[in-house]
């Protein structure tokens, strides 16, 4: 009996151990991850808006993004180092296809953060825990960012879906494999609505650097109207609306704390990314003492994060390190790779048209010198033909006026490079007489776009940590001028353009009197005001600043100008290239065969 008692006790004890096992053990409670319900809280909504800002890093700075925005235009073309899928944005060859990864970057990130903004807008109205001011700011920023992403998508891809699975402009929370694209005019209408909402609700001045405020909304609203005015769905009032929105900003600069920078050379200089001229930028973590790599999400050092680094500083940099001299038994770079002159990836180079036609005047107009580098200082001591060059003195010079020449004995026959004692390249070594590009080493040297120079990196091969400027007041004047031109107010257009041109006449080393003379020389008359002139002016002011491809598309000038000025694009570019291909993965993953069949843009 005693034995049985123990047994039953033990059995009861062990069985009870086993039966703690009720089914609620099978319910899951995550602790280290967030689930989509987080978006219904105030904290979640604010985090959503932050992530939508951060998403822009993917679109401005990484490899593919840079090719996407400026290559293949009249301004910039590819070198022989940029080939394959990246180069196809310049050459419009078969690699510019639906399987091109850069095409998927814009499409995928755009829609991802549009949905995030949808969530913020949808739940932002009702979420508890927000003050009225916070709620207003949150909704306004979410509307602005959604408008911004949709504007990019529709300009690049044409029709894009407004319904992601849970209804038009609604936050999608269900796995869905169907999709219908909405027409560009519907999308632009939604964009204009979003920017309008943002303009009405944003603060006049940003509460912090990098946050969007009213001026940015006005700038992009004007740009959206101007875009629609020349595209499908155009409204007769669009030019006027564009003009009004831009002028509303220009006429009230003091209200918004916005102003033009005095010296063009400082507009894109590092450290000036949050100046009063800048209306909107993608923040990064540059400071004069170095970046905060943790938050920068660049690929530097041990902080390797996805592909969000800003490589604009590599892309436009020529191969200066390839100019070599004989030192003893070996050849050495006269300007070794260094952090001042950036990592020489030499991917994108200016077209001949940009350097010689757009910037025909490099004297009165300070913008060529403010945008490009043509001289490089020696990084080593070296001797050529008995002439010694010391570290820090001029080592490479690219002569663009072709006037500087020298005796034949100074040249090195095998390369054609002239040493006097610095290495002199002249423009004729870059281009053949017909404007085609020369191959070989000489192509290593071309004017470096220095707008993205970043000298505060800890290693010369690291990405840039500078904020990327997306809108600045200088462009607002040109938007207003363009609208005025279409409205036939050429005098207004002339005045607006002259503001920008006169600013460009200024150089810090000139006296006031000298500047005054140059300003006068820069001024244009009403008769100068044409669409082509405005596009040229945009190049002088904005070259390399990520909008050229869209600007040429919305003005209907891409084909004409790419064929005229971009010899690599000339051969292949066709009408259908006015739209980017829809990524193949998007189409492959659709489950409805009829949607699959009709989803792609024509000819891709």
> Which residues, numbered 278-297, are part of the site for other proteins (CB under 8 A)?
283-285, 287, 290, 292-297
Residue 288's Cβ-side half-sphere holds a number of Cα atoms within 13 Å equal to: 3
Residue list 35-74, contact with other proteins (CB under 8 A):
35-36, 38-39, 44, 47-55
Residue list 95-114, contact with other proteins (CB under 8 A):
104, 107-108, 111-114
Q: Do the bridges between strand 423-426 and strand 394-399 make them parallel or antiparallel, or are there none, so unpaired?
A: parallel
| Contact pick of 301, 392, 428, 556 for other proteins (by CB under 8 A) | 301
What's the gap between Cα 349 and its chain centre? 16
Is there binding between residue 34 and other proteins (CB under 8 A)?
A: yes
Taking CB atoms within 8 Å and a gap of at least 24, the contacts of 373-378 are 373/341, 373/447, 373/448, 373/450, 374/398, 374/399, 374/400, 374/447, 374/448, 376/320, 376/335, 376/341, 377/335, 378/334, 378/335, 378/422
Residue count at the site for other proteins (CB under 8 A)?
A: 96
DSSP state string for 84-107: HHHHHHHH--TTSSTT-HHHHHHH
Helix, strand, or coil (residue 194) = helix
Asked if 526 and 490 count as a contact pair (C-beta separation under 8 A), the reply is: yes
3-state helix/strand/coil string of 28-84: CCCCCCCCHHHHHCHHHHHHHHHHHHHHHHHHCCCHHHHHHHHECCCCEEECCCCCH
Residue 388: count of CB within 10 angstroms of its CB: 10
Is there binding between residue 455 and other proteins (CB under 8 A)?
A: no
Is there binding between residue 129 and other proteins (CB under 8 A)?
A: no
| Contact pick of 177, 383, 405, 488 for other proteins (by CB under 8 A) | 177
DSSP one-letter code for 588: H
Is there binding between residue 208 and other proteins (CB under 8 A)?
A: yes
Residue list 210-229, contact with other proteins (CB under 8 A):
210-211
Asked if 562 and 553 count as a contact pair (C-beta separation under 8 A), the reply is: no
Interacting stretch for other proteins, rule CB under 8 A, among 165-173, 442-450, 481-489, 571-579?
165-173
| Contact pick of 2, 5, 125, 175 for other proteins (by CB under 8 A) | 175
Closest to 389 in 3D by CA, of 322, 444, 328, 334: 334
Min dist. Cβ of residue 493 to other proteins (A): 36
By C-beta, is 332 or 390 nearer to other proteins? 332
Rounded CA gap, 269 and 370, in Å? 9
By C-beta, is 458 or 525 nearer to other proteins? 458
Rounded CA gap, 196 and 355, in Å? 38
Interacting stretch for other proteins, rule CB under 8 A, among 173-181, 483-491, 510-518, 540-548?
173-181
Interacting stretch for other proteins, rule CB under 8 A, among 33-41, 476-484, 488-496, 499-507?
33-41
DSSP one-letter code for 355: I
Asked if 300 and 292 count as a contact pair (C-beta separation under 8 A), the reply is: no
Min dist. Cβ of residue 297 to other proteins (A): 6
Helix, strand, or coil (residue 202) = coil
Residue list 240-279, contact with other proteins (CB under 8 A):
274
Rounded CA gap, 600 and 592, in Å? 14
Min dist. Cβ of residue 536 to other proteins (A): 35
Residue list 333-362, contact with other proteins (CB under 8 A):
333, 336-337
| Contact pick of 61, 147, 161, 215 for other proteins (by CB under 8 A) | 161
Is there binding between residue 235 and other proteins (CB under 8 A)?
A: no
| Contact pick of 1, 5, 27, 408 for other proteins (by CB under 8 A) | 27
Burial of 205 (0-12, 13-18, 19+ CB in 10 A): middle
By C-beta, is 179 or 268 nearer to other proteins? 179
DSSP one-letter code for 470: E
Rounded CA gap, 484 and 477, in Å? 10
Is there binding between residue 442 and other proteins (CB under 8 A)?
A: no
Interacting stretch for other proteins, rule CB under 8 A, among 2-10, 187-195, 214-222, 360-368?
2-10
By C-beta, is 332 or 387 nearer to other proteins? 332
| Contact pick of 40, 95, 173, 235 for other proteins (by CB under 8 A) | 173
Residue 73's Cβ-side half-sphere holds a number of Cα atoms within 13 Å equal to: 29
By C-beta, is 99 or 240 nearer to other proteins? 99
By C-beta, is 226 or 587 nearer to other proteins? 587
By C-beta, is 287 or 393 nearer to other proteins? 287
Instruction: Mark residues 585-604: x for contact with other proteins by CB under 8 A, - for none.
Output: xxx-xx--------------
Is there binding between residue 176 and other proteins (CB under 8 A)?
A: yes
């Amino acid at each position: 009996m005693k034995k049985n008692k123990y047994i039953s006790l033990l059995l009861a004890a062990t069985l009870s151990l086993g039966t703690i096992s009720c089914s609620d053990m099978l319910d899951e409670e995550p602790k280290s991850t967030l689930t989509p319900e987080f978006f219904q809280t105030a904290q979640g909504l604010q985090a959503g808006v932050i992530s939508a800002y951060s998403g822009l890093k993917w679109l401005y700075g990484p490899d593919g993004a840079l090719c996407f925005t400026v290559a293949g235009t009249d301004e910039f073309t590819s070198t022989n180092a940029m080939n394959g899928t990246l180069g196809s944005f310049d050459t419009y060859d078969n690699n510019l296809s639906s399987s091109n990864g850069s095409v998927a970057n814009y499409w995928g990130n755009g829609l991802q953060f549009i949905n995030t903004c949808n969530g913020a807008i949808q739940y932002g109205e009702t979420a508890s825990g927000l003050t009225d001011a916070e709620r207003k700011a949150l909704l306004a920023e979410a509307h602005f960012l959604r408008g911004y992403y949709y504007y990019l998508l529709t300009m690049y891809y044409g029709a894009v879906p407004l319904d992601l699975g849970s209804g038009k402009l609604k936050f999608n929370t269900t796995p869905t494999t169907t999709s219908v694209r909405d027409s560009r005019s519907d999308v632009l209408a939604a964009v204009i609505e979003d920017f309008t909402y943002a303009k009405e609700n944003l603060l006049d001045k940003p509460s912090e650097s990098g946050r969007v405020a009213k001026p940015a909304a006005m700038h992009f609203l004007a740009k959206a109207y101007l875009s629609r005015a020349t595209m499908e769905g155009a409204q007769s009032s669009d030019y006027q609306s564009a003009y009004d929105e831009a002028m509303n900003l220009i006429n009230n600069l003091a209200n918004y704390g916005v102003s033009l920078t005095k010296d063009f050379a400082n507009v894109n200089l590092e450290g000036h990314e949050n100046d009063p001229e800048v209306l909107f930028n993608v923040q990064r973590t540059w400071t004069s003492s170095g970046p905060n790599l943790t938050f920068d999400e660049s690929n530097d050092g041990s902080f390797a994060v996805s592909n969000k680094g800003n490589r604009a500083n590599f892309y436009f940099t020529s191969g200066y390190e390839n100019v070599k001299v004989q030192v003893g038994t070996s050849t050495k770079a006269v300007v070794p790779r260094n952090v001042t002159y950036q990592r020489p990836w030499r991917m994108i180079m200016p077209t001949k048209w940009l350097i010689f036609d757009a910037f025909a005047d490099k004297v009165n107009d300070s913008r060529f010198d403010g945008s490009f580098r043509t001289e490089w200082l020696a990084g080593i001591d070296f001797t050529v033909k008995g002439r010694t060059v010391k570290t820090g003195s001029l080592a490479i010079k690219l002569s663009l006026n072709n006037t500087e020449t020298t005796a034949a004995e100074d040249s090195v026959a095998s390369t054609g490079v002239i040493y006097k004692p610095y290495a002199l390249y002249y423009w004729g070594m870059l281009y053949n007489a017909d404007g085609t590009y020369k191959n070989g080493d000489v192509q290593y040297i071309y004017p470096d776009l220095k707008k993205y120079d970043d000298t505060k990196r800890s290693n010369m091969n690291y990405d840039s940590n500078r904020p990327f400027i997306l809108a600045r007041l200088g462009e607002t004047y040109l938007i207003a001028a363009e609208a005025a031109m279409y409205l036939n107010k050429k005098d207004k257009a002339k005045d607006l353009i002259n503001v920008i041109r006169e600013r460009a006449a200024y150089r810090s080393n000139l006296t006031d009197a000298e500047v005054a003379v140059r300003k006068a020389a820069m001024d244009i008359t009403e008769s100068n005001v044409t669409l082509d002139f405005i596009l040229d002016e945009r190049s002088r002011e904005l070259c390399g600043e990520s909008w050229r491809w869209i600007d040429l598309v919305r003005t209907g000038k891409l084909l004409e100008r790419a064929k005229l000025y971009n010899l690599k694009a000339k051969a292949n570019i066709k009408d259908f290239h006015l739209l980017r291909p829809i990524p193949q993965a998007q189409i492959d993953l659709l489950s409805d065969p009829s949607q699959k069949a009709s989803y792609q843009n024509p000819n891709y």
